[in-house]
Each structure stands twice: as C-alpha cells, then as structure tokens.
A and B are shown apart, each in its own frame.
Chain A
C-alpha cells in the first residue's frame, strides 16, 4: 500500500477542484470542469500501460469506445442503469485488453504502436457496419438519478473526480509495488527484465487489462456526459490521440502527468474555441497545436519532469547533497588474495549442453555444441569475435530457441523455455552490452532481479541489499544507474543477477571495456562468488584475465567447439591459436 503521505497531494487537489467546481454555476464551464477529470483518467489509463512499460499504444480509443457503447447500448436495449453499466464496461474493457494484448505483445516498439492503432479503427468500422452510426442515450424524465442523468451538472464533475481519485490511488499502489517495478524494468530494458526473472508477458497483460478496464469505465462515463455516441467520437483517431496528448504534455510515467496535461489542455482548447473560434474559425486548432509543439520542444518528457528537474536544481535535497558534493562515492573492492581454487574433479554436473544448434538463415551461429558445467566450476567460453558465444548464452537462458539439441539444468531439459522460467530455475546472466535500467537507482535495479525469489517487497529489498554488498556497491546504492562508470555498471549487473540467488551465473564479457586494475577488481568479485558456491560460465575473447580465473575452457570458432580442457592445455592448442591469430602464427607458438 502506498503511504498516505504520497496520496496527500492528490487528495488535496481533488478537494480543491471539487470546491472550485461547486462554486461554478455556468453549465458550460461546468461541462469543461467535468471533461478535465474524464480526459485525465483516460490519460492515466494510457499511462498505466504506455507510460510505465514504454510500449506506446496509439489505440486506447478501442477500450474507451467499448466502454461508451456499453453504456449506450446497455441502456437502449436492456434498460440497465449506467451505475451498473460502468462496472460492466470496465469488465469488458479488461477482457478486450487481454484479447488485444495477447497477440499484440509479440510485437515491439513501433510495430506494437502501429498494431494498436489498428484496433480502434477496425472496431470503428464494425460498429458502423452494425448500424450504430448515431446512438443517443434515452432521456429518462421519470428516474433521472437512477440513470445518472443529473439536472445539476456539478454532480457529473464530482463523479468524474471520484473516478479520477480512485485511478490515481490505484496507479500509486501499482507504482510502489512489484507490479510497478516490473513495468518500469520492462520499459527500460525488456530483455534484461526477462533475464532477471520477470515474466514480462504476464505483467504486460496485467497492465493492459487494468488499463483497458479503466479506459472503458471512463469511456462509459463519458458517453453519459456526451449523451450521443458515434463511432468517430469514441473510437476515432482523435480520441486515442487525446490520451497521448494529455499524458505526454503533462509527463509520461508519472501519476501527475495526465492530470497536469488535462488540467491545462482541455480548458485551453475550450477557451480558444469559445473566444477565438467565433471570430477566426479554425484559429483555435492552430494555437492549440502550436502550444503543444512549444511545450514538447522545451520539455520533451512533459511538464511534470521539467518542473521537477527545475525545482530539484533550485532546492537540492540536503540529505543527499552533502556526501555527493564533497566526495563522490565510488565502489571499492579490495582484491582478496587467496590461493587458487582447485575444482573437485568429477563433481556433480549442474548444466549440460547436448548437441545444441541454431542457425540464422544460412549462418550456422551455433552448431552441435556440447559441454558440461560442473558444480562450483568456473568455465571460460572463449573464441574470436563472431564465434557464437553470445548466441550460445542466448540459447542457454532462453532468449533464443535452439533448432536442435538440449539444455539440461540439473538433468531437466529446459531448452525452449522462456527466459524468466530459466531464471527461476536458477540461471542468472549479465550482458555483453550492459542493460541497466538507467533511470532507476542501483538498489532498484537490483531489486528487479530479486523478485524472482522474493515473496514480499521487504524480502526483495533485503536480497537486493545483500547482492549489492557482495559486489561492493553498498556505498553508491542510491545513485541512479545513468551516472555510473562502466565498472560500476558491470558490478551492478552482476548484483542484479545475484539478487535472484542463482546457482549458475552466465557472464557475458563482464570484463569488456574495463581498465587493467578495474578488471582485477571484477575478477576478484567473481572469484569470491565462486568460492561462495556459485557455478559460473564466463564468455571472454581476451584470454589474459581468463587464464588466471577459470578452471577450464570451451573454445568456440564458427559456432562449433574446437577444443576444451584446462587453461594450460587449451592455450597451447594449435587450433586455438589458429582460430585467434591465423595459420601463420601457429608456427611461432611455443610448443
């Protein structure tokens, strides 16, 4: 549950707004006052999906329209009251969200946005075809209250405000829970989230279901205010655009964004329409568009973030400012000097790869690879650039499906499972190209990785704090990932993988881009992890650091294993030298 304090501004805002609206007797201004929270809620529902997951929906009108037609048709054909129809609309909207989300979440980025655009337009034609071009809500002169047809327009505003407050509270609850963290993680890096054990599809489906339900509920209410429903007015492009406009103008990914956007834009549009439109018809659109362009140029992330940044600059928070300014904390890891670890020969096999193959068109990226990973071993997977090392990892952790072969984890075939399932089974991984959640703090980044094991929020925080400590980042745990150095990011990724308490860690070029001293620090951390009982497979194409780190090597070239064995043997192998340096160097190699 969100703390009451974080809801206080929302509650105060709602009360102030209600007070203002109660004092307005002009029915036109009251209508504008009603529409502000309506569009704010619609923006919030869009924000819940698109703001937090980053999957832009151009088609939220689909849900809005379903809601609107539910109230209209429910009253006409079944004589139901809107008090009942609005919850029904929310339910239908949720179902629509699920039905739309399930196929559409296969797409990403622009493709997702475009596919979403199609739904309301398609539904629009269905409703036209069904003959619902113009539907009017029947006027109930005898039982207006039972049918939500208030004589006093202020009641509409109050009702809309109640829906808005409820939506804000709901959004807040989500924001501060595992749900919100999962969505934020998806937004910043879906692959990393999935690898960290987050079932991204499930969370996204929950988000779109909830988002659809809210959009449909407010659509249903909107029909009650508008009294006439036409496909264009509820499924049209402009409706979907309205959600984007208010949210993007006010600020994406925050509960205040759509509210700010709506409070400014809706009255502005109406005032322009009323004041300028009568004298210079059409000018209102020009001014409105121009205002939006200017704000987006000045504050591309929306007004909320811009204002927040300005305020932070002017009044930096004292608690944080003191240590940061005087002496920027950095991660320090003291390399522990320990005797080389001897692996217990013939210990139990935790991961076995059998005849794994994968092609991309004609390119055989991985062919017929087999090896075994023993408990508590550090296995180095080496090979020149393009040898198929990362593809192999992607096959192991489920990003890719193998064409052939098996991946056995503790004897169980897990090939073809989704990444989060494999993560649950105890395999963590890091990435060659780091995939931090840039706007989140180190600790929050790591918490995302802990959810796979943690039952409660507290447990997740604890696991995350442990993991951060193990890699030596405790001092900088509050810093935002965007400010970190490469080494710190590498360690943070390691911590994120660790937070899920994996038994096997797949490290993809963890040493890449590090200076000599930095590499040593990271190597020390990895050694310590191995001593703590974690089995590690590490990819690297520079051999130097590896030779001292690993117990054995698997060498890949052109997607196939060319040799495997202990470091001393492998580094002298002619085939390895040839793969790395070319044929003519084989002669110079020491024998």
Chain B
C-alpha cells in the first residue's frame, strides 16, 4: 500500500491534535466533556445485543448528564463514543486498535459482548492502559494478570456455583422435594463449556444430583429430536438446557413441548440470557416458555422500574436484559471513578477503579462496587429469572425479585 490512509479523516487530525495539545490544555481548564467508549458489535450476527448495550449506555449518559454531570470536574458532561467491533475476533482487535489510536482522549470504555471479542479488545486496551469494564463473564478474561480490565459480572464458574444451590433450595421449598436426577443439553461455546465444567466436576456431586443425560451440540442446532428423545426416556427431575443462540433455544423448546415435556413436566433451567431474550417470543408461544428459569449475571429487577419503563417507552424493548442493565450501570461506575479520580486521565480512572469502595452495587446483583486484584467485582452475584406469563422476571435474590418464583410441578 503506497497510499497511506493517514490524513484522510477529520478525526485523525483531531485525535492527533488532542494527543499533543488538548490533553495538557484540558487539565488546566475544566473540560466540558469527558469521553467514554462503548465498543460492541453493531454489524454482523451479534448486532442485536450490541444495540441493546448501546441503549443502556445512552440512557446512562443521559441520566448522568441530567443530574449535573461529573461534579468533581465542575459538572463536565459525559460523552459516549460508539465503536463497532464487528463480528469476528480480528475485527474486534482492529476496532480496539482504532479506538486507542484515534480516540486518545477516552478515559474508560466498556464492551464487547462476546467474551472472545472482549479478550481481543482488552489485549489492545491493556497495552494502551485504557481501563475497560466488561459484562462478559469468561473466567479467562481476568486470569491473564491484566491491570486494566474490570469484570462486573460473576465469572462463569462462579455463576453456576452460586446458581445451582439456590435453584435446589427453590425446588425444595416450592415442590416439597429435592430433584435427584439431572440432564444437561448444551452447545459447545466457551461459556457453556466453562459452566458445564464447574457443574460436572463439583456441583452435581455437592448437591447430590445424579447426572443421567449429557448431550452437546455445535451451533447452529439443526434438529433437536435426538436430544429431547434421550431426555424423555431418562425422565430427569431437572433439565439444564444451555443454548447461546436464540434459534437453538427456539428449536429446543419447540421440541420439548412437542414431546410433551414442557410446561413443568420437566423443570427446565438455562444459564444464559439467550433463553430470555425478547426475540424468543417471536416464534415460541407464551405457554411454551412458561416457568422456564435461567441463571444470569444481571437482569432488570426491583428498584429499576423507572429505567425499565423508560426503556420500553424510548426503545420499545419489552424488558431489560443483562445487556441493558449492566451497560447502564457501567456508565454510573465510570462516573463514580471520575468523581474519585478528579481528573480526566485514564491512569487516574484506572486507579480509581482499582481502589474504589463505593458500597453496595445498585445496577449489578450482589456484592460491592469494589474490585479485587484480578479485576473481578467483589461479591458479584447472580439473579434467577423466570418466564411468567410471557415476561422473564427476576425471582431471586428476594431483595431484587420482581415476582415470587414458582416451581413447575409434574402433572
């Protein structure tokens, strides 16, 4: 390539100028704006979750600015810079490189939905020393010894550890007996495998569950019949159904109903937000999903009614998923760090995240607004969501629950 794209864009010139002059200037007189990044998939097959995260971020920024911006910076307003990280690891890495090279005045960012993308993005941001918050929950993200990544969700292994015992208690209190046998149908994505590992190696034994059926598929699932047939013949007390693509979830649930196992005949539990996405209702009936539970890292819950109402009014989203709530919360967390840092400087903001101790968390379930040395949020919990009358509502923990859980009974 002989022609260098440098100099082609207005943004390059601006960011170059910012690198040399503006930042020095910025410290002298209080800035009117503080930029934070949102790097999420906005093209390709993961567009939809990316868009939902953007809604959360926009609402967060909006609310913060309406409340008077960053007080420690003289009421500076927060400004969102949105970057599309595409649908492949390479695109995510390139996008991250673009973000750090051209948006030099970012103080923090959040992203990037899929843990593979977050891995690639944070390889870049770590080297550029830009703090990144993430709702991705792969354990690997915070096992690399990185100092600029902050994971707000409980890591995958922890989620099942927290979720399964709760589920067992719920079953016992609602139905009067503990489930004894369990079947597991899962896809082979990184998150499912991490969750399954914890379940199989430790948790099933710990909860006294006998593991009777295990089936793994590679997405996309083309036919769920053989999977569900095995479940029907084994008749477990509990079915763990773990898809990560809406189409797989639909296919599985349709088949579960077709075989007459739905609506509580075999209580079905999932471990990701996929099964509670609004898209589900487009082809699966309300009855088919009734009672299905999923253990997730975050969900719209009690105390967030206004946020959920605004989301409905503004974006026509029927309910708030993890993507909305966590990204909304990330904006507040960034504000918190900026207040603590007291200056527009990514190093100071990163240090603020590391040393932060801002009490109980409002937009993430459980624990504190505080990170351990790995960058994991201290005490991060999970929520259990249950489909009730066509809406997935938070049913656990009680302080966040929008409704009481019911245990589907064998009829």
Contacts and interface: CB of A to CB of B under 8 A. Distances in A.
Interface of A: 16-17, 20, 23-24, 26-29, 31-33, 35-36, 125, 128-129, 131, 133-134, 136, 138-139, 226-228, 230, 232-233, 236, 238, 263, 267, 270-271, 273-275, 277-278, 281-282, 284-285
B140 A134 contact: yes
Contacts of B115: 134
Contact of A228 (B93, B95, B97, B189): B93
Contacts, number: 120
B88 A238 contact: yes
Contact of A273 (B9, B94, B120, B190): B94
Nearest to A282: B43
Interface in B1-37: 1-2, 4-6, 8-9, 12, 16
29 contacts: A16-B2, A24-B6, A26-B102, A27-B97, A27-B101, A27-B128, A28-B100, A31-B93, A31-B97, A125-B218, A128-B218, A131-B193, A133-B188, A134-B119, A136-B123, A139-B144, A226-B120, A232-B116, A236-B88, A267-B1, A270-B94, A271-B5, A274-B9, A274-B98, A274-B102, A278-B82, A278-B84, A281-B84, A282-B43
A228 B89 contact: yes
B220 interface: no
B89 A17 contact: no
A79 to B, nearest CB: 15
Interface string B31-47: 00000000000111001
A281 B44 CA distance: 9
A23 B145 CA distance: 33
A65 to B, nearest CB: 12
B120 A36 contact: no
Given A26-B6, A133-B188, 5 more contacts: A26-B16, A28-B101, A29-B6, A129-B188, A277-B43
A233 B89 contact: yes
A134 B122 CA distance: 13
Contacts of A35: 94
B300 interface: no
B214 interface: no
Nearest to B15: A26
B190 A226 contact: no
Contacts of B94: 28, 31-32, 35, 270, 273
Contacts of B144: 136, 138-139
A134 B116 contact: yes
| 5 A-B pairs with the lowest CB-CB distances in the bound complex, closest first | A28-B101, A281-B42, A133-B190, A233-B89, A227-B123
Interface of B: 1-2, 4-6, 8-9, 12, 16, 42-44, 47, 50, 82-84, 86, 88-91, 93-95, 97-98, 100-102, 115-116, 119-120, 123, 126, 128, 138, 140, 144-146, 188-190, 193, 218
A19 to B, nearest CB: 10
A131 B139 CA distance: 14
Contacts of B116: 133-134, 228, 230, 232-233
Given A32-B94, A134-B190, A139-B126, A284 B100 contact: no
Contacts of B16: 26
Contacts of B5: 29, 32, 267, 271
Contacts of A27: 97, 100-101, 128
Residue among B116, B144, B146 facing the most chain A CB atoms (10 A cut-off): B116
B120 A139 contact: no
Nearest to A129: B188
Contacts of A263: 1
Nearest to A225: B93
Contacts of B9: 274-275
A36 B12 CA distance: 21
A134 B138 contact: yes
B90 to A, nearest CB: 6
Contacts of B128: 27
B4 A29 contact: yes
Contacts of A228: 89, 93, 116, 119-120, 123
A17 B1 contact: yes
B102 A28 contact: yes
Nearest to B216: A129
Contact of B120 (A23, A28, A227): A227
A226 B84 CA distance: 17
A71 to B, nearest CB: 14
B57 to A, nearest CB: 14
Contact of B4 (A24, A133, A236, A270): A24
A288 to B, nearest CB: 11
B93 to A, nearest CB: 6
Contacts of A33: 1
Contacts of A227: 93, 120, 123
Contacts of A284: 43
Residue among A28, A35, A274 facing the most chain B CB atoms (10 A cut-off): A28
B99 to A, nearest CB: 8
A284 B188 CA distance: 30
A24 B2 CA distance: 12
A232 B12 contact: no
Given A28-B98, A133-B193, A233-B89, A285 B43 contact: yes
A134 B119 CA distance: 8
Residue among B86, B98, B188 facing the most chain A CB atoms (10 A cut-off): B98
Contacts of A273: 84, 86, 91, 94-95
A139 B101 contact: no
Contacts of A31: 93-94, 97
A28 B91 CA distance: 12
Residue among A134, A275, A285 facing the most chain B CB atoms (10 A cut-off): A134
Residue among A125, A226, A271 facing the most chain B CB atoms (10 A cut-off): A226
Contacts of B101: 26-29
B253 to A, nearest CB: 24
A276 to B, nearest CB: 10
A273 to B, nearest CB: 7
A17 B93 contact: no
A275 to B, nearest CB: 7
B48 to A, nearest CB: 11
B112 to A, nearest CB: 11
A27 B98 CA distance: 8
A271 B43 CA distance: 15
A576 to B, nearest CB: 63
A139 B97 contact: no
Contacts of A238: 88
Nearest to B100: A27
A120 B167 CA distance: 40
A138 B144 CA distance: 7
A241 to B, nearest CB: 12
Contacts of B88: 232-233, 236, 238
B84 A20 contact: no
A196 B348 CA distance: 74
A274 B83 CA distance: 8
A128 B120 contact: no
B111 to A, nearest CB: 14
A277 B9 CA distance: 14
A281 B47 contact: yes
A133 B82 CA distance: 27
Nearest to B197: A131
Given A24-B4, A263-B1, A232 B89 contact: yes
Contacts of B12: 26
Contacts of B82: 278
Contacts of B102: 26, 28, 274
Contact of B89 (A125, A128, A226, A281): A226
A175 B363 CA distance: 64
Nearest to A124: B218
A334 to B, nearest CB: 56
Contacts of B190: 133-134
Contacts of B146: 139
A134 B118 CA distance: 11
A226 B86 contact: no
A35 to B, nearest CB: 8
A160 to B, nearest CB: 12
